[in-house]
């Protein structure tokens, strides 16, 4: 298993960028954006030599991190 320089759930700038974009996208546009982001992540991880199992794990970690970021943003907005 290769050592990842930046595990997917620690790529805070990418996580915030995706969460911000998803706040402004809905329906099919959001789906297209997310599929494109995940394809890019997968391609990057494959270039680093990740197995399919590790790629799946990293994708899940990234997705969870984006979801957490969205929850933080929505909670902050609800407090205003």
1 domain-assigned: no
- Identify the band that residue 5 occupies on the pLDDT scale cut at 50, 70 and 90: low
Per-residue pLDDT of 28-68, as tens digits, reads: 999 999 999 999 999 999 999 999 999 999 999 999 999 99
72 domain-assigned: yes
d(CA 68, CA 78): 15
13 domain-assigned: yes
Q: Cα torsion at 50, 51, 52, 56 (round to 10°)?
A: -50
- Domain count of the fold of the chain: 1
Q: pTM for this structure?
A: 0.88
3 domain-assigned: no
Tokens 């030599």 -> residue = 49
Domain that holds residue 60: 8-79
């Amino acid at each position: 298993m290769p050592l990842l320089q930046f595990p997917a759930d620690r790529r805070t700038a990418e996580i915030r960028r995706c969460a911000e974009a998803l706040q402004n996208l809905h329906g099919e546009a959001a789906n297209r954006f997310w599929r494109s982001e995940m394809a890019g992540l997968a391609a990057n991880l494959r270039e680093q030599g990740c197995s399919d199992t590790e790629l799946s794990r990293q994708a899940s970690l990234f997705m969870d991190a984006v979801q957490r970021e969205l929850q933080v943003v929505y909670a902050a907005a609800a407090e205003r």
